[in-house]
Amino acid sequence: MTDEEYKKYSEALESELGEVKAKNHELSTNLSTATGPGVSQNLVEYQLETQEALEKIEHFLKGDMIFYNQETQEVSYKTNTNKDIILLNEYGVNFIMSILNGYFHKGVFLGNLEDQRIYGIMADIATEIRKFVFCNYEKMGMTTKAKVARFPSLLVQVFHMLEIALMRSEGGSEREIINTSNIVMQNQSMNPAGQYARPSEKRKFSVFSPSTW
C-alpha cells in the first residue's frame, strides 16, 4: 500500500464513519414504519451497534490492506507486509482503540451533551494523547522520522471518529429519535391497520328512547 493508497483508505474510512448520522436518520424512518416489539428491538440494537465500525477502525490503524469483492459485496482484510506503511505496532493500536472504545458505545450515544461540552471533552482527549505520544512514540511503533511525521494525519482521523461518536449525543438527539420511534410503534401496534378509531356519534336525544338519555 503506497502513501497515496493509504491516504485514500483513511479518507474512505472517515467518509464511511461520517455517514453514521445519515444512517441513523434512515433507521429512525424504518423504526417509525415498522410494527411489532420484535422489529423495534432489532432495529434499535442495530442502530446502537458499534462492533463493525470499531473493527474497521482497528484494521485502519494496523495498516491492513482492504479488498472488496464486487460479486459478493464482502469486504476482507489482509495484513500489510510493507513495514514502512504500518505506522503503529500492537501497543500503539491498542492505545488508540482503548480511547475509541471508551466513546463508541450506547452509553455515550444515548447521552445528552451540549456542543461546547463535546468539544471540551475532545480537547481534553487531545491533550492527553499528545502527552502520552510524546513520551511513548517509539514504544508505539513510530521508530522513524517518516512515521512520526505521518502521525498527526492519523490523529486527525481519530479525532474525527471521536467527534462523530460524541455528536450522536448532542442535545439527546439519538435518545429522542429512539423514544419517538417507540411511541409511534406502540400506537401502530394498537391500531395494526394504521386506522384511528372515530369517536362515536352521540345520538340525538329523544324522551321516548332511554338509550339516548
pLDDT of residue 1: 52
Q: Any idea what DSSP says for residue 105?
A: S
pTM of the model: 0.66
pLDDT of residue 192: 54
Mark 51-68 as b/e (b = at least 16 C-beta within 10 Å): eebbebbbbbbbbbbbee
Q: Can you tell me the mean pLDDT for 65-70?
A: 87
Backbone phi, psi, residue 77, to 5°: -130, 150
Span 80-134, pLDDT tens digits: 989 888 999 999 999 999 999 999 888 888 899 999 999 999 999 999 999 999 9
Helix, strand, coil content of the chain in percent (nearest 5): 65, 5, 30
**Residue 72 banded pLDDT, cuts 50, 70, 90:** confident
Helix 90-101 vs helix 51-62: angle between axes, to the nearest 10 degrees?
150
pLDDT of residue 175: 78
CA–CA dist 213, 137 (Å, integer): 87
**Residue 29 banded pLDDT, cuts 50, 70, 90:** low
Most confident of 17-21, 63-67, 189-193: 63-67
